[in-house]
Structure 1
């Protein structure tokens, strides 16, 4: 399993630098906004459309992302924008403090209004950057729950044939198209997806925060074994991209 990129490596990554271009202007615009007013401002548009992948140009990515929030509040889009800035490594400590403050001041609104896709993105953000180990551990339950459901539903789509074997055309479609599951949640790009690798990185970091954390890692490894016949092991058998592997050899 590939190790996560260090903070130093991210700092000097040309690709990461390109993905942060224009971030200061975006953050400055966010500084001028009023959270309470944004709750009542609805985003106009012709059609709600989910993003698939991520444009390296920050502004282009944010413009595409806004289509996910057509008919929804500006505050929900603001929340998503903060997550994008944090994930692209822009003033992470400062932007995470703003993200954390937003959640504590607007938690009822965010919990009730955000779809499951963005609630899980929020959980991932807290797990990555919060100093509260209890909160991080608590939110990891939601991440594992939804990711396991995503796997099971993606497999059901992949094997919805008479003999319940993997359908080649559906496998290909999962590589190239977004499979809508429920409440904004999309299926796995089976074979290449980095979702489980990222989840494993977070799980490893959490496990290191307690002397008995190894119990969780051992159980997680056991469900990956090819003879275990679980959705995790079956997806492992279909995986072809080494850098997004989520198990230890």
Structure 2
């Protein structure tokens, strides 16, 4: 496995240097902004449009990125801009301090308003740059959770099984027989299993010990909402035993 690029290598990289051009001006403009006013300012535009990949030119990339926040607050876009500056290696320590302060001062707003893509980007940023090992360990759970779902749902697409429905006989077998998966791991008894409820109890206990623990819980709740169409939401729809439910209403 290839090792991550060192900070020195990133700093000396010509390509990374090109991707940082103009960052000082952008950072200076950000420093003049008032966070409370940004919360109340909505970005205008014809339609929301997600980016795919990133442009090497920083200004172009940020302009493209802004389309992801049409109809959303300027503070959400500000948050994304900080992440871009950090990832492109511009005064990382200084920009991360702003990022960290933003989260501690506006965590409820950010958790409620940011979509899951940007919540995970926030998790990645804390994991990469925070000195708080407990927080990094908490948020790594969210990253693993969402990345596993991305793989599983992408496999459904690749194998053209995204519209598959549960087989009644197999559903019954999961209730009455052990499904061997790998290395001693058994299948999930869809409908009654207490595995996810117990996992949720443990997550709640861990996240209550940190001011930003709600970030992990919000992501865990989102992946099983009925409109999410993930393995969590589909298994929730098939769940029949109330006392082993793993979600909150």
Secondary structure of residue in 1 paired with 2:29: helix
Distance in 1 between the 2:30 and 2:7 partners?
Answer: 25
The aligned residue for residue 23 of structure 1 is 23
Q: Shift of the alpha carbon at 1:20?
A: 0.1
The aligned residue for residue 66 of structure 1 is 66
Q: Shift of the alpha carbon at 1:117?
A: 0.2
Stretches of 4+ aligned residues off by more than 6 angstroms: none
The aligned residue for residue 83 of structure 2 is 83
Secondary structure of residue in 1 paired with 2:93: helix
Does 2:129 align with 1:141? no
**RMSD between aligned alpha carbons?**
1.3
Structure 2 gaps of 5+ residues are 165-249
Structure 1 gaps of 5+ residues are 165-249
Secondary structure of residue in 1 paired with 2:90: coil
Higher Cα Rg: structure 1 or 2?
Answer: 2
Q: How does 1:190-201 map to 2 (within 5 A)?
A: none
C-alpha offsets along residues 126-151 of structure 1, whole Å, 9 cap, x if unaligned? 00000000000000000000000000
C-alpha offsets along residues 79-118 of structure 1, whole Å, 9 cap, x if unaligned? 0000000000000000000000000000000000000000
Q: Shift of the alpha carbon at 1:161?
A: 6.0
The aligned residue for residue 151 of structure 1 is 151
The aligned residue for residue 128 of structure 1 is 128
Q: Shift of the alpha carbon at 1:60?
A: 0.1
The aligned residue for residue 96 of structure 2 is 96
Distance in 2 between the 1:82 and 1:9 partners?
Answer: 21
Distance in 1 between the 2:12 and 2:66 partners?
Answer: 29
Q: Shift of the alpha carbon at 1:53?
A: 0.3
Distance in 2 between the 1:96 and 1:161 partners?
Answer: 42
Distance in 2 between the 1:35 and 1:11 partners?
Answer: 30
C-alpha offsets along residues 168-190 of structure 1, whole Å, 9 cap, x if unaligned? xxxxxxxxxxxxxxxxxxxxxxx
TM-score by length of 1: 0.64
The aligned residue for residue 32 of structure 2 is 32
Larger relative contact order (Cα-Cα within 8 Å, sequence gap ≥ 6) = 1
Distance in 2 between the 1:9 and 1:40 partners?
Answer: 40
How many residues end up aligned between the 2 structures?
163
TM-score by length of 2: 0.64
